[in-house]
Amino acid sequence: MVANASQLQEELEAKNEVQGGVLFKIKEDPRITRVGKLLRRYSLDELPQLINILWGEMSLVGPRPLPVRDVDKFSPHHFLRHEVLPGITGLWQVSGRSNTNSEAVFNLDFAYIQNWSLGLDLQILLKTVQVVLSSKGAY
């Protein structure tokens, strides 16, 4: 990201491509550097979060942590996703990634929480490998 990314985001709010307005994503985000685009495309920007897993602050699978800007726009029922450890990957990431609207993201997170099993985690991890290698929906 460029140095003044948070300031630029305020100017870019009108270009938000995620329906529902809670989450913020734009395909050609001018705040992301060329190196950053490459890292995001193949999810390499997620690797430092392995440290958070070792510290017990995150899980491999679970709802993705969201920026404060997005959490500030939550409805009360959205906070259910904070009842479990956040994950590096999740049902949202293997079901559309950035091509998913806000409410669908929450519905996928809630479905994961309500239907959690070790088998579901293994399915999501295997599907994550496919999704990352294809880089589909990564921006």
51 located within any domain: yes
Q: Which residues contact 35 (CB under 8 A, 6 or more apart)?
A: none
139 located within any domain: no
Instruction: Print the domain residue range for 102.
Output: 5-134
Mean pLDDT, the chain, whole residue set: 88
139 band by pLDDT with thresholds 50, 70 and 90: low
What's the token pair of residue 61? 């699978």
Q: In angstroms, rounded to a whole number, what is the distance separating the alpha carbons of residues 20 and 64?
A: 18
Q: Which residues contact 104 (CB under 8 A, 6 or more apart)?
A: 92, 95, 96
Question: How many contiguous H segments (helices) and E segments (strands) does the chain have?
Answer: 6, 2
Q: What is the pLDDT of residues 60-106, one digit of tens each?
A: 999 999 888 889 989 999 999 999 999 999 998 898 766 777 888 89
117 located within any domain: yes
If one counts the domains in the chain, the total is 1
44 located within any domain: yes
